[in-house]
């Protein structure tokens, strides 16, 4: 009886919780909501002060139960909570910036209050810890680590090599330690408190992707069914999965990505190899970084697009192939709002999108190799978000592909996880939500201080780094730390591979 009584009380408790949630509905969203915003003005540790206002724009609808609580384009207000700049480098080696956002105001005048902290800066070299954006250490670069670990490791005196002293005094590559995010930088927030919006729910805008392709789902199935689902390298090695289909003319595809601030990749040449090397050594971004050529049915991509910020290793990128199957074009024409539209305006474009998370110089591949994020569905969502905010998306539909494995590897051995669905995006002539925030950020224009100041700061930071790290004691610690990290990475990789094997070959 006591057990039954306990179960009854537990059941009643669950009922009360569910009833309370139903009563609140979307008027009170719990903490932990993810918000994507885009800075409307630059933010930098070089000039920011605690209490300075920060303004941004919401680039993805905040939705609850198919109701738009806060629409994209809403103005997001925030403040600088704290700021630590490097300055001359005497006191601090790294910068730190804490931002807090507290309200969203839609064009209709509705204001929603909340508290949110930064969780990620898209494609930035800076990491975020507990809501604080952590700047890089200028000496923690490719050439800096080689100097400290290989040259000074056996010595106790950090200034025993005159050749190294001369090299560090004249070598021009030294990353900027201050944090600088230009207008157009995308930031992901996480709310830390409940969002109260009793009167802020608004209807979706007329061009919202809520006007999906569900009415023509049969046509979409017919369109996707004969399509291939994977591309290969030039050496016929299985590479990325196709996870996007664009419907529209070539001009519409180009206009959509340009309006969203994406760039084409430079062709491989001696100049681009040198730029790659500089970006790697300088821990900086390369907006038009070359891409490896992939093949779809033996054909190289017709176009490629990418978007990055200030990191060489992190970027959003995709390749696009035109699909000229008569069956596919016929299905597209059948699903068009105006069946009289010709096939030129309803061309089919297949795409594989992934998010790069790091880059290395690999001898095996005779060049630079990027590692990707395992969740490729997240990158699929990123592309949709980018093009939707650019006002270039008429509708979006998803088609399941049961034959696509839930987990597999790309050409360089990185694991890819997916739900197997492909997103079919019908494009339109672009009508951007905020035209001023459509261009790609240009962080290279930021130059804090004159040449003399930066040179002196470089020498100060280099000296401090050598005193603390270029010796056998720190070297031993660093080797131990790298060993532990490598073992953790190997263990994690083995677990992921085991999970993938189970997912591909489930036990009978």
Both 377 and 451 in one domain: the answer is: no
- Model pLDDT, residue 459: 84
- Model pLDDT, residue 445: 57
- Model pLDDT, residue 174: 84
- What are the residues whose beta carbons fall under 8 Å from the beta carbon of 13, sequence distance 6 or more? none
* DSSP 8-state symbol, 435: G
Both 69 and 137 in one domain: the answer is: yes
In which element (H, E) is residue 127 found? strand 127-129
- Model pLDDT, residue 139: 82
**Which regions in the chain score pLDDT beneath 70?**
1-26, 142-172, 197-216, 325-345, 361, 363, 365-367, 436, 438-447, 470-472, 475, 486, 489-508
> What is the tally of helices (H) and strands (E) in the chain?
10, 27
DSSP 311-357: -SSEEEEEEEEEE--HHHHHHHHHHSSSTT--GGGG-EEEEEEEEEE
Q: What is the CATH number of the domain that holds 168?
A: 2.40.128.260
Both 158 and 233 in one domain: the answer is: no
Q: Which two tokens stand for residue 179?
A: 């944090």
Both 304 and 427 in one domain: the answer is: yes
* Cα diameter, the chain: 85
- Model pLDDT, residue 283: 86
- Model pLDDT, residue 339: 44
Three-state DSSP state, 408 = strand
* DSSP 8-state symbol, 375: B
- What are the residues whose beta carbons fall under 8 Å from the beta carbon of 381, sequence distance 6 or more? none
- Model pLDDT, residue 10: 47
- Model pLDDT, residue 388: 96
Q: How far is the C-alpha of 55 from the C-alpha of 78, rounded, in Å?
A: 6
Both 183 and 297 in one domain: the answer is: no
Both 290 and 349 in one domain: the answer is: yes
Single out the residue of 111, 104, 49 nearest to residue 82, CA to CA: 49
Both 315 and 426 in one domain: the answer is: yes
Q: How far is the C-alpha of 166 from the C-alpha of 72, rounded, in Å?
A: 53
132 in a structural domain = yes
- Domain containing 121: what range? 31-203+445-470
Mean pLDDT, all residues of the chain: 81
Total-model pTM: 0.83
Both 186 and 246 in one domain: the answer is: no
Both 240 and 377 in one domain: the answer is: yes
Cβ(308)–Cβ(357) below 8 Å: no
């Amino acid at each position: 009886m006591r057990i039954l009584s306990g179960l009854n009380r537990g059941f009643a408790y669950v009922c009360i919780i569910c009833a309370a949630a139903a009563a609140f509905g979307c008027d009170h969203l719990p903490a932990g909501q993810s918000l994507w915003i885009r800075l409307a003005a630059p933010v930098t540790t070089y000039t920011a002060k605690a209490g300075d206002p920060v303004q941004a724009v919401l680039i993805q609808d905040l939705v609850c139960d198919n109701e738009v609580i806060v629409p994209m384009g809403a103005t997001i207000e925030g403040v600088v909570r704290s700021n630590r700049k490097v300055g001359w480098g005497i006191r601090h080696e790294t910068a730190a910036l804490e931002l807090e956002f507290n309200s969203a105001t839609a064009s209709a005048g509705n204001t929603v209050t909340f508290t949110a902290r930064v969780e990620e800066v898209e494609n930035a070299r800076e990491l975020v810890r507990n809501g604080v954006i952590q700047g890089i250490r200028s000496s923690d670069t490719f050439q800096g680590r080689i100097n400290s670990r290989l040259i000074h490791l056996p010595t106790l005196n950090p200034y025993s090599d005159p050749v190294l002293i001369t090299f560090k005094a004249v070598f021009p590559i030294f990353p900027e330690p201050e944090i600088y995010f230009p207008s157009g930088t995308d930031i992901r927030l996480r709310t830390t408190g409940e969002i109260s919006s009793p009167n802020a729910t608004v209807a979706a805008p007329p061009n919202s992707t809520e006007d999906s392709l569900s009415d023509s789902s049969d046509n979409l199935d017919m369109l996707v069914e004969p399509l291939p689902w994977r591309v290969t390298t030039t050496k016929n090695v299985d590479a990325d999965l196709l996870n996007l289909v664009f419907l529209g003319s070539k001009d519409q595809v180009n206009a959509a990505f340009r309006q969203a601030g994406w760039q084409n990749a430079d062709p491989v040449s001696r100049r681009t190899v040198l730029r790659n090397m500089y970006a790697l050594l300088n821990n900086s971004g390369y907006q038009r970084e070359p891409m490896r050529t992939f093949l779809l049915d033996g054909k190289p991509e017709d176009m490629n697009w990418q978007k990055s910020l200030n990191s060489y290793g992190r970027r959003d990128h995709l390749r696009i192939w035109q699909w000229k199957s008569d069956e596919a074009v016929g299905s597209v024409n059948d699903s068009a709002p105006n069946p009289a539209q010709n096939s030129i305006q309803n061309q089919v474009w297949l795409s594989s999108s992934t998010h790069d998370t790091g880059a290395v110089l690999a001898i095996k591949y005779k060049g630079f190799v990027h590692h990707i994020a395992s969740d490729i569905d997240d990158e699929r969502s990123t592309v949709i978000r980018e093009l939707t905010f650019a006002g270039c998306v008429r509708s979006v539909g998803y088609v399941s592909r049961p034959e696509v494995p839930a987990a597999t590897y790309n050409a360089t051995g990185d694991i890819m996880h997916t739900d197997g669905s492909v997103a079919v995006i019908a494009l339109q002539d672009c009508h951007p939500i905020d035209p001023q925030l459509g261009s790609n950020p240009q962080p290279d224009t930021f130059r804090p201080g004159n040449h003399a100041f930066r040179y002196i700061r470089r020498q100060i930071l280099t000296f401090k780094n050598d005193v603390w790290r270029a010796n056998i004691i720190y070297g031993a610690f660093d080797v131990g730390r790298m060993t532990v990290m490598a073992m953790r990475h190997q263990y994690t990789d083995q677990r992921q591979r085991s999970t993938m094997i189970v997912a591909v070959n489930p036990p009978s």
